[in-house]
Structure 1
Amino acid sequence: MEKLRVGVIGCGSIAQHRHLPEYQVNPNVELVAVCDINEERALEVAEKYGVLSFTSYKALLESSEVDAVSVCTPNYLHAPISIAALEAGIHVLCEKPMATSKQEAEAMIAAAKASGKKLMIAHNQRFVPSHQKARQFIQSGEIGKIYSFRTAFGHGGPEGWSVEGKEGWFFQKEKAFVGAMGDLGVHKTDLLRYVLGEEIVEVGSFVETSAKNFADVDDNAVCVLKTESGIIGTLAASWAYVSKEDNSTIIYGEKAILRLEDDPTSSLIVQYTNGEVVKYELGKIQSNAEGGQNNSHVIEKFVDSILTGQEPPVPGEEGMKSLAVILAALESNEMKQIVRLK
């Protein structure tokens, strides 16, 4: 079988910790090129992986060297680069948040449809074993009616992780468009939609910049969310959790409480109303702290969807729905009112 020829556009931390190493170990992939506007970085990464180096994504897309690309650039470039790649007949795996507006997201989806190529958004939380098991519990009715939830994603901030530190695009509004809410919050809106199996229909939020005085984007956000069946809960996204990362979700049901990624050893704990507690050790969630050696499954799912011709597990439409919640949260904070999603 022919191997899938892949290029990675943007050689920052997410490319270096996730995309490149996961493509490299995938038996169906031949990594052929990397691209970064920082020529030194592009050359350094290209040398490490023994691939071609580009500083212009257009040159890479026109080179006819690649069948698929990962878009690992600052957020504001996600849509233009993804659209250009799709129009060039190249499959796209795009980092989250997929775009900076609904219009951009729609244009990406339209480009994928027109080209017949795959567009997948890198929402890895769906592939965490505890999250998948929780979804099964909820769908099977095992924990009854869901009443409420709370979810958080917070750490000390991307300056400790990003290749550019405090100078990085994460903190610049014109490049990032949104801060902790786009970096972390959108992962959790995607997770909630996936685990609960419902759309979020109303959002209220407070979005602040309180910890990073050098940033012009949010670093602390708390949202109240309501789903279509009336489940209410909170989502916190923060770059101000200075010690341990929090990536936990708790779901309060009629027959049990599900604690996801809330305990250091048991990735899922089910606490039943009768006092029974069942603990599952399903393997750790991916975290930046672990050096990124563990598999996010995003790359393999993307590659499989291309090779089998199936719909990717997180297509553009799903990415857009998860982005819509974040956009509504920003609007709610600005307008100081609850925002209804269409």
Structure 2
Amino acid sequence: MLKIAVVGCGSIARHRHLPEYDANPDVVVQAVCDINQDRVEEIGSMYNAMTYTSYETMLEKEDVDAVSVCTPNYLHAPVTIAALNAGKHVLCEKPMATSREEADDMIEAAKNNRRWLMIAHNQRFVPSHKKARELIENGDLGKIYSFRTAFGHGGPEGWSADGADSWFFKKDEAFIGAMGDLGVHKTDLMRYLLGEDFQSVGAFIETSAKDHSTVDDTAVCVLKTPAGVIGTLAASWSYNGSEDNSTVLYTEKGMVRLEDDPADNLIIHYTNGDVVKYELGGIQTNDDGGQTSSGVIDAFITSVLNNEEPPVPGEEGKKSLEVILGALESEETKRIVDLT
């Protein structure tokens, strides 16, 4: 039985990490930590866990096997490194860090302490995405020419525990807005689907929809791989009305639509006119009440139990982060940024 601690008791912990740990028969939630005393005591009572307002104190006192880091972005690196140095395996929320240097320090801490570090990029575990990768790897779609992918909704106000006062909107705590909250999901997904890293990025990034925000809320990027696959990525907190979490691949043998149809999760329009539809189970959303498992928690637990590298190790998290950092540089310099 693995003993787990969760640092940060906001919405991602409440709706994803904690219930999914609780549902795993190989896990017990032993401790929870949050600077908000009322919040952590409420969560602690729900899971019969020890409560702390200091992660340093928790790491010192609690003999746990692994830690989930669900804090604001600026704390991802310091909490992760402290947990690794305390001999704990770590599952860290995305984006893994606020700089390449922080990401490198996290990876180095995992190596030095011989502990696993996994980044919670859940889009890799969506059934339609896994099926699409299988089709690409098997050559069933032929050459990939281009893509477009988007992740947008009305913003974290209705999702975050603190609403419009959330850390999501504060540059000193979030570092980056919709690009870090949503865009990094899609950089990781496209790297996963295409099986290669991006070579260059150009971006337009704006704060146009959230007057109370000091971070970006709308972004569009153009990306290119070394093999010449080009596409667009949109990330936004200005998609009012409904969420868009779709991806379209344009390939030699047809067009592949992922998560843009309410009934069928994957639809292939072949060049010969055939249409093949897959109903594979929905993608997780902020509105599903936790009914759809992310797959992240179970994958992390399996990795720790089997002492094997997790499916999204720190090195992978860093590569997806670097695309976002490159997009920021592109917006600042008004140039295409080389990621190699």
**AA partner of residue 183 (structure 1):** D
Deviations 1:309-341 (A, max 9, x none): 110000000000000000000000000000000
Question: What are the superposed Cα offsets for residues 18-50 of structure 1, whole Å, 9 maximum, x if unpaired?
Answer: 000000010000111100001111111101111
1:196 aligns with 2:203: no
2:124 equivalent to 1:126: yes
Superposition TM-score, scaled by structure 1 size: 0.99
Encode CA deviations 1:51-95: one digit per residue, 9 max, x unaligned: 100000001111133110100000000000000000000010000
Equivalent position of 2:87 in the other structure: 89
Give the secondary structure class of the aligned counterpart of 1:290: coil
The match for 2:219 among 221, 239, 247 is: 221
Alpha-carbon distance between aligned partners in 2 of 1:218 and 1:53, rounded to the nearest angstrom: 34
Deviations 1:111-146 (A, max 9, x none): 000000110000000000100111111111111111
Whole-angstrom distance in 2 between the partners of 1:33 and 1:239: 33
Amino acid at match of 2:240: V
Q: Is residue 31–residue 62 contact of structure 2 (8 Å, CA) maintained in 1?
A: no
Question: Which secondary structure state, in structure 1, belongs to the residue aligned with residue 29 of structure 2?
Answer: strand
Letter in 1 for 2:178: A
Gaps of 5+ in 2: none
CA distance in 2, matches of 1:32, 1:64: 8
Paired residue for 1:114?
A: 112
Q: List runs of 5+ in structure 1 lacking aligned partners.
A: none
- Runs of 4+ more than 4 Å apart: none
Aligned to 1:71: 69
Distance between the aligned counterparts of 1:334 and 1:72, measured in 2? 29
Q: Does 1:41 align with 2:52?
A: no
Identity %: 66
Among 236, 239, 263, which residue is 1:238 paired with?
Answer: 236
Corresponding position of 2:7: 9
User: Match for residue 152 of structure 2?
Assistant: 154
Q: Distance in 2 between matches of 1:272 and 1:178?
A: 39
Q: Which amino acid aligns with 1:289?
A: D
Q: Contact 2:40–2:52 (CA<8 Å) still a contact in 1?
A: yes
* Match status 1:61 vs 2:59: yes
RMSD: 0.5
Give the match for residue 306 of structure 1: 304
Task: Give the equivalent residue in structure 1 for 2:102.
Answer: 104
1:179 and 2:186 aligned: no
Shift of 1:293: 2.0
Alpha-carbon separation, structure 1, partners of 2:273 and 2:190: 26
Q: Does 1:30 align with 2:23?
A: no
3-state SS of 2:316 partner: helix
Under a length normalisation based on structure 2, what TM-score does the superposition of the two structures give? 0.99
1:250-275 per-residue CA deviation (whole Å, 9 max, x = no partner) reads 00001111100010010000110011
Q: 1:248 aligns with which of 246, 253, 259?
A: 246
Q: Which amino acid aligns with 2:241?
A: S
Partner of 2:210: 212
Whole-Å separation in 2 of the counterparts to 1:65 and 1:213: 44
Q: Distance in 2 between matches of 1:197 and 1:257?
A: 18
